[in-house]
Amino acid sequence: MEEYAREPCPWRIVDDCGGAFTMGVIGGGVFQAIKGFRNAPAGVGHRLRGSANAVRMRAPQIGVRLREKEDPWNSITSGALTGAILAARSGPLTMMGSAMMGGILLALIEGFGILLTRYTAQQFQNSIPFAEDPSQLPPKDGGPQKPRGAKGEFQ
């Protein structure tokens, strides 16, 4: 009877997916910690470091990185997959529409983030340093130049 007292479908799916993901991440982390502990050299310090290192090395695979580099496509794909999964009970056409909306929404967010990053990066570019001695600058076109064959110049 308790099953029917819960919230309706969309929030229930989000809660269940979040709970399943959390259990998978915690379970995978514990498994990797035990594996690293067992495979480390003797000594408590070595074993604890080996355990932590094993968890750290496998964290991207446990947390599901879609591609091997950090780029906007990971977020866009995640948004599309999330939209499709949340609409799974409504049929394939609705899943595709929700996937497109999730992907477009995340693409807009990522695009805005990239635009903002590029805009703010221009503010912090290094300017051309000023020459300390103006006589060391190359002559401008039309400015006074040394005549050819002047004293001290090779001929």
Query: Which of helix, strand or coil describes residue 141?
Result: coil
Q: What is the pLDDT of residues 96-143, one digit of tens each?
A: 999 999 889 889 988 998 888 888 887 777 766 665 666 666 667 755
Its pTM stands at: 0.43
Q: What is the pLDDT of residue 1?
A: 47
* pLDDT value at 9 more than 80: no
Mean pLDDT, all residues of the chain: 76
Mean pLDDT over residues 64-78, rounded? 72
